[in-house]
């Protein structure tokens, strides 16, 4: 990696005088209640590969080096405080054992686990800490506050389907949980997961010139992701339930940080769990890995509902990331500034939209008011003011800014070739870009050189200079994901795509098994190489006798439709395909269709050739596609 330029040094030094670094409240809170350290590493089940290394970020101590924004360094120093902590007598947390924080509430007979991390291995290690250092007792319930993988993926590390069935272990989740959990990880799962390697810096070596964390936590673990069906669902009509003798007052908060999410209050402790709706940073209204844009207005109103319902009672707040907040006044203040921050961005963006300002204008000009901007819990460590404002614009007005010149632009490679030609060729561009880089104008260098690289990805001088610009922008970034994107982009410009020795996938057997059959068929339709089947017409009856489901599939104009039918097929079809649901699941594993159809428990009657022709044209999605090069 490059050394920091003078421009980077000046930019990072200026942060020290702009924010209240003498406020040590968060430092004290992040260390309060410490009981036991984390294990050095967590290994994959049945393997020796490490899925989590708690010591990888031990370098984050003392003052910020010039290669890291001091505000981000402060946040990641706080996130490094890991181990088992007591929040209150009967409430405990394990922090820095994965991206998220896992909490434990003592019930009458066992532990109520809140948000069991991404991997079974890290979740099991967290449970072991509590069992060893607090009290040995069974898991009586699991709460999954929302539908993101770092809050449910470790379910099989703390319980099992057998324990749910035999021992009555309850799994509580918000309405819509299963569908949102599986659809987000499958329908655009390959693209999201590839971009997540940038967002979480998972390919960067930890260190002052590499990964320091994501602002929300360090990074994601790389163990076994699982999923179990909830036994209890929380929606608008559920405001309270009792788990293992503990009253849990609930508030359903969909379309905030996740499409399916809820928060809850524990009156026995006057403690509010804010899930991921309120944490110690400005969160994402649009996540850079890619997802549907979130609703800033609904988010703000959900926090206001927490204040209205529990503001007079709350004495502490704990969340599914970061450290708790203690005290009635501090708790209400955290809720208030977070509520006001999301609403301010929403309302100011809408006001400016209605004056005709574009997305880029709004993102460039709007800042939080001084009192909110100086509040640590609203700093843009994970989300950012800039890309959250763009998200609000996108949610309301979409990609088009109204200027006809931007209605039908050329795609990146074709535009790049034309830009380079207009600007006098790559040599002239590189001469000017070097001068701008030396002057510290790396944002513009990146804007210009991306065209040179896309016009000629073999231009090593352009790649190296663009990588240098990305590196300096990464060193200056306050947002963890921005830093990770810049530095991962720089790494891939210099070294190409680095493929790790282990697979990265959220499409696990548990996720596939939890998918509705209709969603699997929708995904199969996405995978069709549509242009190759536009001339093919066929209707197929799909029979899944083991689950009692019946469908008619219709291929028309390159599009695969399906509809459920009541009972066996009655309409005229060209073929009947009969198989157990487990065989259908295998389609998501990108298996060979001919081999699948040859299995002993798969039968075809009628026109098998048309069916085979369709299945042979299911596309496979390569994970390691290029991002910073064409």
Q: Tally the residues of the chain.
A: 630
Q: What is the per-residue pLDDT for 45?
A: 73
Q: Given the structure tokens 């993102």, which residue do they identify?
A: 363
| Distance in angstroms (rounded) separating the CA atoms of residues 191 and 623 | 7
112 phi/psi in degrees, rounded to 5: -95, 115
Q: Give span(s): CATH 3.30.1050.10, the chain.
A: 516-615
Q: Which residues contact 89 (CB under 8 A, 6 or more apart)?
A: none
pLDDT of residue 616: 87
The per-residue DSSP string of 218-243 comes to: S----S-------SEEE-TT--EEEE
- Where the chain has pLDDT below 70, the residues are 1, 46, 502-506, 568-571, 590
Pairing of strands 538-544, 34-36: unpaired
Residue with token string 């999605």:
621
The CA–CA distances, whole Å, from 334 to 64, 207, 327 equal 26, 31, 11
pLDDT of residue 571: 67
Q: Of 476, 475, 454, 472, whose CA–CA distance to 463 is shortest?
A: 454
Candidates 188, 382, 197; CA nearest to 291 is 188
Tell me, what's the pLDDT at 54? 82
Query: And the tokens for 314?
Result: 């709350």
Tell me the β-bridge partners of 248.
Answer: 241
Q: What is the b/e burial string over 554-572, where b = at least 16 CB atoms within 10 angstroms of the residue's CB? A: bbeeeebebeeeeeebeee
Q: Is 567 helix (H, G, I), strand (E, B) or coil?
A: coil
CATH 3.60.15.30 location in the chain? 6-17+26-385
Domain(s) labelled CATH 1.25.40.880 in the chain stretch across 406-495
Closest to 549 in 3D by CA, of 525, 573, 577: 577
93 in helix, strand or coil? strand
Which residues on neighbouring strands pair with residue 92, listed in sequence order? 86, 104
Strand partners, 540: 553, 575
pLDDT at 1: 67
Q: What is the pLDDT of residue 46?
A: 67
Q: Which of 482, 299, 477 is nearest to 395 (CA)?
A: 299
Rg of the chain, C-alpha, whole Å = 26
Numbers of helices and strands, H then E, in the chain: 22, 21
The SS3 of residue 462 is helix
Alpha carbons 447 and 584: distance in angstroms, whole number: 45
Question: Are the C-beta atoms of 155 and 116 separated by less than 8 Å?
Answer: yes
With contact defined as beta carbons under 8 Å apart, do 575 and 581 qualify?
Answer: no
DSSP string, 410-449: PPHHHHHHHHHHHTT-HHHHHHHHHHHHHTT-HHHHHHHH
- Give the other-Cβ count within 10 Å of 329's Cβ: 8
Query: By three-state DSSP, how is residue 113 classified?
Result: strand
The 8-class DSSP code of residue 618 comes to B
Output the pLDDT for position 140.
98
How far apart (Å, rounded) are the C-alpha atoms in residues 493 and 1?
A: 12
Residue owning tokens 């100086």: 374
Q: Are 452 and 416 in contact (CB under 8 A)?
A: yes
By DSSP bridging, strand 559-564 and strand 549-556 are antiparallel
Instruction: Check: CB of residue 41 under 8 Å from CB of residue 125.
Output: no
Q: H/E element holding 163?
A: helix 161-167
Token look-up 């198989």 returns 579
What is the model's pLDDT at position 181? 87
One CATH from 3.40.50.2300, 1.10.3720.10, 1.25.40.880, 1.10.10.10 for 406-495:
1.25.40.880
Domain spanning 516-615 has what CATH number? 3.30.1050.10
pLDDT at 32: 98
CATH code of domain 6-17+26-385: 3.60.15.30
What pLDDT score does 268 carry? 98
- Cβ contact 208:65 at 8 Å: yes
| Three-state DSSP string of 485-524 | HHHHHHHHHHHCCCCCCCCCCCCCHHHHHHCCHHHHHHHH
């Amino acid at each position: 990696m490059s050394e920091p330029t003078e421009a980077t040094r000046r930019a990072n030094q200026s942060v020290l005088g702009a924010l209240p670094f003498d406020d040590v409240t968060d430092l004290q809170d992040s260390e309060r209640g410490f009981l036991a350290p984390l294990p050095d590493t967590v290994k994959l089940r049945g393997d020796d590969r490490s899925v989590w290394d708690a010591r990888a970020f031990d370098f984050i101590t003392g003052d910020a080096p010039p290669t890291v924004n001091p505000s981000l360094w402060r946040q990641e120093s706080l996130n490094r405080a890991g181990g088992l902590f007591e929040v209150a007598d009967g409430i405990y947390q394990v922090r820095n054992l994965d991206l998220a924080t896992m909490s434990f509430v003592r019930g009458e007979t066992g532990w109520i686990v809140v948000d069991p991390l991404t991997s079974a291995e890290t979740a099991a290690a967290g449970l072991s800490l509590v069992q060893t250092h607090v009290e040995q007792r069974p898991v009586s319930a699991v709460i999954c506050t929302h539908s993101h993988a770092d809050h449910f993926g470790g379910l099989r590390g703390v319980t099992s389907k057998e324990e749910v069935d035999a021992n009555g272990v309850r799994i509580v989740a918000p309405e819509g949980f299963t569908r949102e959990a599986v659809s987000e990880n499958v329908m655009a799962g390959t693209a999201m997961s590839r971009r997540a390697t940038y967002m979480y810096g998972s390919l960067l070596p930890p260190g002052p010139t590499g990964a320091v964390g994501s602002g929300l936590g360090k990074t994601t673990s790389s163990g076994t992701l699982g999923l179990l069906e909830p036994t209890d669902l929380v929606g608008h009509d559920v405001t309270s339930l009792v788990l293992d003798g503990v009253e849990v007052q609930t508030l359903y908060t969909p379309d905030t940080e996740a499409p399916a999410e809820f928060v809850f209050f524990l009156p026995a402790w006057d403690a509010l769990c804010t899930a991921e709706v309120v944490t110690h940073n400005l969160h994402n209204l649009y996540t850079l890995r890619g997802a549907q844009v979130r609703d800033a207005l609904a988010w703000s109103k959900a926090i206001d509902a927490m204040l209205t319902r529990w503001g007079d009672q709350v004495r502490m707040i704990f969340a599914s990331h970061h450290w708790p907040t203690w005290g009635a006044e501090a708790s209400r203040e955290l809720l208030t500034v977070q509520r006001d921050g999301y609403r301010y961005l929403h309302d100011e963006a809408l006001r400016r939209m209605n004056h005709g300002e574009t997305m880029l204008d709004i993102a460039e000009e709007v800042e939080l008011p001084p009192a909110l901007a100086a509040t640590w819990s609203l700093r843009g460590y994970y989300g950012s003011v800039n890309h959250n404002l763009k998200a609000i614009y996108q949610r309301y007005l979409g990609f088009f800014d109204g200027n006809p010149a931007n209605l039908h632009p050329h795609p990146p490679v074709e535009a790049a070739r034309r830009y380079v030609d207009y600007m006098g060729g790559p040599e002239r561009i590189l001469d000017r870009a070097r001068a701008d880089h030396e002057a510290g104008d790396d944002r513009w260098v990146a804007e210009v050189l991306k065209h040179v690289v896309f016009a000629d990805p073999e231009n090593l001088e352009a790649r190296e200079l663009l990588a240098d610009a990305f590196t300096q922008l990464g060193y200056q970034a306050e947002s963890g994901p921005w830093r990770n994107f810049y530095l991962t982009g720089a790494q891939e410009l210099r070294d190409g795509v680095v493929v790790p020795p282990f697979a990265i996938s959220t499409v696990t057997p548990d996720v596939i098994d939890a998918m509705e059959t209709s969603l699997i068929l929708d995904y199969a339709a996405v995978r069709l190489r549509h242009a190759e089947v536009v001339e093919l017409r066929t209707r197929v009856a799909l029979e899944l006798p083991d689950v009692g489901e019946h469908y008619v599939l219709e291929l028309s104009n390159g599009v695969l439709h399906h509809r459920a039918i009541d009972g066996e097929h009655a309409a005229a079809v060209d073929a009947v395909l009969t198989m157990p649901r487990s065989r259908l699941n295998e389609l998501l594993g990108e298996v060979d269709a001919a081999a699948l159809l040859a299995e002993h428990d798969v039968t075809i009657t009628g026109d098998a050739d048309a069916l085979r022709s369709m299945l042979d044209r299911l596309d496979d999605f390569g994970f390691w596609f290029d991002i910073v090069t064409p």
